[in-house]
Structures are given as C-alpha cells and as structure tokens.
Chain A
Amino acid sequence: MTDLRAALRRSLESLLARPGRTALAAFGLGLGAAAVFELVGALDPEVRARRLEAPRIPIFTADARARALPVVALAAGELRRAGLALAEGRTFADLDARDARRVAVLGAAARAELFDAGPALAESVEIAGERFVVIGVLAPGAAHAREGVLDSAVLVPASAAPEALASALAAGAPRGGGVELGARSLLAASCLLLGGAVLASAMLATALERAGEVAMRRLVGATRREVFRELWLEAQLQALVAGAAGVAAGQGLHALGVGLAGPAAPGSSAWGPPLALATTLAIGAAAGFFPAHRAAQRDPTRALRGE
C-alpha cells in the first residue's frame, strides 16, 4: 500500500459515494457481527455463569412477603455432586427425592430477599401453591456448571416439583443449552455469509465500474500489485466499518434486552466486540480478494480508449 492514510480516506470516500451498496454490505456484515457478538456471549463461561436462565416464579413467605425468584429444579443427587458450599443446613438427600418431600435450598441472595437476617431454616415458602420447607442455604457465589450462579435462586428437588411448578418451568425462557447454541452459530454463520456475499458483489461492481480509474493508476506508474492491494484494503476497511456498526447494533440490542434469537441474556462478554470485528474483517478480506484481483488484472489499455 502506498500510503495507508490516503487509502483509508479514499476508502471512506468511496464508501460514502455509494451509500446504497455500503448500507447493504454493512447490514449483512453488521448482522453477522451482531450474531457473532451474541454467540460469544452465549459461549463465554464467565457470561454464562453470571446469568441464570431459570424462570422467575412468585414465592411467598409465611409473613406474606412475595418475591419473584428463579426456581431451579434439580435431581437430588445432582446438587450433592456439584459439591456446593453451604452456609446453613444441608442439601437434598436421597430420601427427599424418594419421598418427594417438598424441601428447598436457597441461594444466599434469595435468603436475604425472603427472610432478611431472620432465621430461614425450617421456615416454609409457598411456590406455585405448594409449601416447601427450607432445609439449607448456599454460600454466596455458589455456582452450578449448567445453571450458572445460584445466588438468587430457589432450588427444589425435581421429584418434588408440583405440576403447576413443572409447567411454569417448562414454559420458561429457553436455556442456553447445546441446541440453542447450535442454532445461534448457524444464524451467525449465515448472516456472515450473506454479508460476505453482498460485500463481494458490491466490490465486484465497484471494481468494474472503476476500470477507468484502475487504468489511470497503472498509467501514472502503479503496478498491478499496488492496485490490487489498494482495492483489497478498501474491501477490508469496508468490512471493518460494517463490522463496527454491527457490533454497536448488537450491543445496543443487548442493552435493550433483545437478541437475534429471542430474548438476550443479560451481561456480555469482553471477547464479543473484538472477536466479532475480527470475524467480519476476515470475511471482508475473503470476499474482497477476488474482485480486487480481477480488477487489477484487467487490461488497462481498454479503459484508456474509453471502452
């Protein structure tokens, strides 16, 4: 590249000179960037740990306090195997499961919400019209590998979940499970592919439209390779601009709580923006390569004669 700053300015100017194409390419790549951004959020264990996707259900205490808290139904053995630290009481025992006892273990924050500093153990809470006895309280920050941080959660044995609770749980928001991740990846990939295709066709049209300019550059001493590099750089810058717009849009949507695939999870990954940008840049580089190459290979003498 002869001069990066000049190339940058020229690229921006050429982007602004063709707003329709730019917008289309930006839309596609931006969608892709947003999708990648969201996908990274879904994959990043730190982000996953921060959120709890269990549905919030109203919970009543004996003194008529009501709180909507996420209720997590776990098999009795599952909670024990997770080896979570307890602040008070005990976890579920096999007997609780066998007898389908209505017992509950509270997260540290959930305990504070429901009972303040008062005693919690052996108190009862009402969930979906059934009374559950509190048998334990988790230590603050206790996290389950699949469910996330359980601070605000109310845990009940799966065997004891009443029908009303089970249907409420089933109707809740989708979990960040393997199926959903697959769907998100597919969405991200197809958005990026679409954006790449749009960018490639825009680049091709632009490159052919500018045959006269390419010829002129050769005429004033640019080599084929220089012309190619300039056009390619331009495609990458285009992708970068579009990708930045996409990341901004993705973050904005997240802030509003809307995702591309249903409700967005709160919290975002620090890896999201750079990874989304890098992906769009790679797509831009791939999509822009052929058009730039083709434009640089054209015989400049044709354009000189005004053909």
Chain B
Amino acid sequence: MWVVLESVSAGSRVERAGEPLLRDVSLSIARGEYLAVLGPSGAGKSLLLEVLCALRRPDAGRYWLEGRRIDRLREEARDRLRGRRIGFLAATPLLVPELTVLDNVELPLLYRRVEAPERRARAVGILGELGLGTRLRLRPRELSPAERQRVALARACVGGPDLLLADDPTRGLDGRSGDEIMDLLESRSALGATLVVATQDPARGRRARRMVQMRDGSVVRELAGGLRFGARGALAGRLRGRARRR
C-alpha cells in the first residue's frame, strides 16, 4: 500500500465545541487509487485530509507515505514534503487577489525554488490543460466561481503531485461546474495521481472506484472494493521492507 494510516487519532488539541475528532482511523490507499470519503458535516472528513496532507500531526497512530513515516517528521520537513508531492484543493479557492491567474498558479513552484522560466512554462501548461489558457493574465475577481476553483486545481496540480486531495471541492458551485471540477480531478487521477475526494454528496462519491463512509471521526463503512486495513503489524512490516529494498 502506498498511503497507510494506522490507528490515527487527531484533533484533540483543537479546543472548540463541536470540533470533530479523528478516532482510531486505519486506512490504506493504493498508488493511483481514487477514493471518495463520504460523511455528513462534522464526521471528520476535513480532519482526515489535513492529516493526509501532513498539515496536522496525528496525536496518536502512524502515517506512512510510500513507506516513509510522515507523522514523525518535523513541521518544516512536512511542509516541504507537501510542496513536492501533495496537491490540495480546498472548498474555497484561496487565490491571492493581487496576483494574476498565472502568478497564483506559479506560487507552489516558487517555494520549491524552481527557476522563473520553468515556473512559467509549467503554469502555462497546466492552465492550458484545465481550459484556462485564455485567462492567464486576469485577476481572480475577473473570473467566475467555477473558473476560480479551476485555477485552484491548477495550483494544486502544477507541481505534479502524487497525492491529490480535495476537500468538498464542489461546495459553492452549481451542478454543472461541480461536475466539471470532478471530471478534471478524475482526469488527474487517470494520469496516475492518487486521488482522495471528501464530499457530503453520495452521488458524487459514487463516481469513485472506492468509497469509505465516515461518522463521528471514524471510518464506519467501506463501500466498494479496495483494501481495508487488516493485520496492522504485518502490513507495516511489509511496507518497511519495501522501503528498505528501494
């Protein structure tokens, strides 16, 4: 397995009423897999994605990405890892209003010290792929909400992430634009990225080859094929073995 969460608990340090906790979640995802995380609001979907993108350190449990123990890394190393390998599409696009579409999409590469000409080339490339080739010089406020979300997707994909996470990516979009974003996300998955989409909408979730249902911070149900985590120790051992061979 490529992504492995083992008995992960998280969120206990967030001291607010109604804040969902993640309780003892074990989950494994194969490379290139397309996984939908379903559940009502407050089920812990966002928290799960925050752990997966290494923004939040689990309070307990273990997290491996490609055989590498992520939960033990220092914050800076996790930030770097996220910049290199993980793309995140949030419910709101979070674009910088003062920057053009092109500059917004170049941002992740800036933090990876990619030289300017290559930054530009890659940003133009991904924006073209996502149908925004004519919008490069515009500011976010000149775009429609659907286009803004596509720019955010371009920003998430410009670094060529292996793991693409989307937290309720169709919130605030009409049905057609929502479908479009889902199509584009799935096209990235088809190109080889591992895709995890959290959504409250079972209809959208059903497009994934595999679904997990969350409630009250736990994975309660696995809805399609895929592999649930069984014998923890054995699997962890196998993963470590693989890492060593590499």
A residues sitting closer than 8 Å to B (CB atoms) are 2-3, 6, 10, 13-14, 17, 212-213, 215-226, 300-301, 303-306
Contact = CB atoms under 8 A, between A and B. Distances in A.
Contact of A306 (B55, B91, B156, B159): B91
A304 B79 contact: no
Contacts of A306: 91-92
A15 to B, nearest CB: 10
A305 B113 CA distance: 28
Interface residues of B, number: 32
A222 B55 contact: no
Contacts of B210: none
B92 A219 contact: no
Given A221-B84, A301-B56, A226 B111 contact: yes
B227 interface: no
A96 B175 CA distance: 104
Given A14-B98, A213-B96, A215-B94, A301 B75 contact: no
Given A213-B94, A222-B111, A224-B76, 14 more contacts: A6-B110, A212-B92, A212-B94, A213-B96, A217-B107, A217-B111, A219-B55, A220-B156, A221-B108, A221-B112, A221-B159, A222-B83, A304-B90, A305-B46
Nearest to A305: B46
Contacts of A6: 110
Contacts of A215: 94
Nearest to A220: B108
Nearest to B93: A216
Closest 3 A/B residue pairs (Cβ): A221-B83, A220-B108, A216-B94
B63 to A, nearest CB: 16
Contact of A300 (B55, B91, B159): B55
8 contacts: A213-B96, A219-B53, A219-B94, A220-B88, A222-B83, A223-B75, A301-B46, A303-B94
Given A301-B56, A306-B92, A17 B97 contact: yes
Given A226-B111, A304-B167, A221 B80 contact: yes
B75 A224 contact: yes
Interface of B: 46, 50, 53, 55-56, 75-76, 79-80, 82-84, 88, 90-92, 94-99, 107-108, 110-113, 155-156, 159, 167
A221 B82 CA distance: 5
B110 A2 contact: yes
B37 to A, nearest CB: 15
Contacts of B76: 223-225
A223 B107 contact: no
A218 B99 CA distance: 17
A27 B25 CA distance: 55
Nearest to B167: A304
Contacts of A212: 92, 94
Nearest to B95: A216
Contacts of B75: 223-224
A215 B167 CA distance: 15
A126 B220 CA distance: 108
A223 B56 CA distance: 13
A210 B50 CA distance: 20
A220 B107 contact: yes
A220 B83 contact: yes
